Amino acid sequence: MAKKEELDEETLALIHWCIEVEGFLVAGGATQKQAQDHIEEQVEWFTHQFYDGLTPEEAAKEALA
């Protein structure tokens, strides 16, 4: 049985942040699939927003603008 790869705290924080962004994108009118696809397609942009200190809600508003 392979040991699961452990993620560092920063990576986990980014993943949880993206999950929150997804919720705001859905609240803004996207389907869950559209929100997930958009985050995956724009992962570099979202990662920059995370490190720039935007809240998930702010990042979602920027993405929906």
- For 32-62, how does the pLDDT look when each residue is reduced to its tens digit (9 = 90+)? 999 999 999 999 999 999 999 999 999 999 9
CB 65 within 8 A of CB 38: no
Sign of the CA dihedral with 23 first, then 24, 25, and 26 last:
positive
The predicted pLDDT at position 4 comes to 66
Residue 7 predicted with pLDDT over 90: no
**What is the pTM for the complete model shown?**
0.86
Q: Among residues 49, 50, 21, which one has the least CA distance to residue 36?
A: 21
d(CA 60, CA 65): 9
